[in-house]
Amino acid sequence: MTDLDLIEKKLAFIETCVRELQQLCQPERIPEDIREERFAAHTLQIAIQAAQDIASHIVSDERLGEPETNHQLFDLLHRHGWISAEQVTTMQKMIGFRNTVVHGYQHFNPLILQDIVLHRLGDLMEFVAAIRHKITPS
């Protein structure tokens, strides 16, 4: 059975990260200020990691399948009615971004990070809302 307290803590953590990005980040400075870039990248990275942790926990505890990759976690959540098809694509892209930041596969374009902070934080909040909807008793 899924540990609802753990899931709720991680959902709240994502919300905190998003709020910090909205309130503390100066996205217009990301392309020119390494501190701003690193704050935004790290905060986004840990929020995405929390989303991945949530997905992994649910997939494991609910026995939704055996994913071979982190991307497949979100496919399994969708197949079992936890998130929409659009959210699968979005979360998989976020995992790709997280992997780039964490593993340094390549230096990411700061303009992409800036765009995420300006226009895509709602995607994380939609993921939070979808999971919360499933775990909250009716």
CATH of the domain at 106: 1.20.120.580
Q: What is the pLDDT of residue 138?
A: 67
Token pair listed for 112: 């992409």
pTM above 0.85, yes or no: yes
Q: How many domains does the chain have?
A: 1
**Would you give the end-to-end CA distance of the chain in angstroms?**
18
Domain range enclosing 85: 4-135
Render pLDDT for 65-120 as a digit per residue (tens, 0 to 9).
999 999 999 999 999 999 999 999 999 999 999 988 888 756 778 999 999 999 99
CA 51 vs. chain centroid, Å, equals 4
Render pLDDT for 25-42 as a digit per residue (tens, 0 to 9).
999 999 999 999 999 999
